[in-house]
């Protein structure tokens, strides 16, 4: 049995993984999925001070409350790549592998702002009336809510290299309506022999468009 930890991207809650989680559980695996502070069903907790460190702490605290949280496979979608990288850095001894689903892969000092493209930066800057909420994009799930701006702006602080982890996997989504904000990230790891990469004919929400592919990829990580 493998323990998968699923972290959603901006504006989304743990519910975006419901079908994927059910498929993994049906195969006998343990799945933990968390909605982050200030987003989705936890949107009532949003305030200007919610940042990347808040979300990293969310996951660390949740895992600390779990029994036998070892040999973890951390899976981050989109913005969730920032979170799983920082979490893995803090509890490296408990983590086996990392999987980035069309997600950012930061190095020390990076932020979503520095890693993304101009189109996405324009989206971040177009905050709602609160001054700190980044509204969901039109193609997001109907349940999506505004996302705390500071989480996208705060640089991540990392102490070690990702080479510590047994497997590192990146899954690229091919069907972006314009340049993918993860194009530079994918290009960086695509030809790196230390990474396993996939490119799927699906839109950014790969959990919706390519569920069977993701199940296969996640099961393969444990081999």
Measured CA to CA, the distance from residue 34 to residue 194 in angstroms comes to: 28
Residue 77: which of 142, 11, 158, 154 has the closest Cα?
A: 11
Residues for the chain: how many in total? 223
How many CA atoms, within 13 angstroms, populate the side-chain half-sphere of residue 76?
A: 24
Select which of 33, 78, 97, 111 is catalytic: 78
Q: Is residue 199 annotated as part of the catalytic site, yes or no?
A: no
Which residues make Cβ contacts (< 8 Å) with residue 195, sequence separation at least 6? Answer: 168, 169, 170, 189
Do the beta carbons of residue 83 and residue 52 sit within 8 Å? yes
Q: Answer for the pair 36, 55: CB distance below 8 angstroms, yes or no.
A: yes
Active site residues: 78
């Amino acid at each position: 049995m493998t323990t998968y930890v699923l972290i959603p991207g901006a504006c989304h809650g743990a519910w975006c993984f419901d079908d994927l989680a059910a498929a993994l559980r049906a195969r006998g695996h343990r799945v933990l999925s968390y909605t982050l502070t200030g987003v989705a069903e936890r949107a009532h907790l949003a305030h200007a001070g919610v940042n990347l460190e808040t979300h990293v702490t969310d996951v660390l605290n949740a895992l600390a409350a779990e029994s036998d949280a070892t040999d973890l496979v951390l899976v981050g979608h989109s913005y969730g790549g920032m979170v799983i990288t920082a979490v893995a850095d803090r509890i490296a001894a408990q983590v086996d592998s990392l999987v980035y689903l069309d997600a950012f892969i930061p190095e020390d000092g990076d932020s979503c702002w520095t890693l993304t493209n101009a189109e996405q930066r324009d989206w971040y800057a177009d905050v709602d009336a609160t001054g700190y909420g980044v509204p969901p994009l039109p193609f997001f799930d109907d349940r999506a809510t505004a996302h705390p701006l500071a989480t996208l702006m705060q640089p991540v602080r990392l102490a070690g290299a990702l080479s510590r982890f047994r497997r590192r996997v990146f899954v690229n989504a091919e069907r972006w309506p314009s340049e993918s904000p993860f194009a530079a990230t994918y290009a960086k790891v695509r030809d790196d022999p230390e990474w396993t990469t996939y490119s799927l004919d699906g839109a950014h929400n790969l959990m919706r468009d390519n569920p069977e592919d993701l199940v296969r990829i996640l099961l393969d990580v444990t081999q």
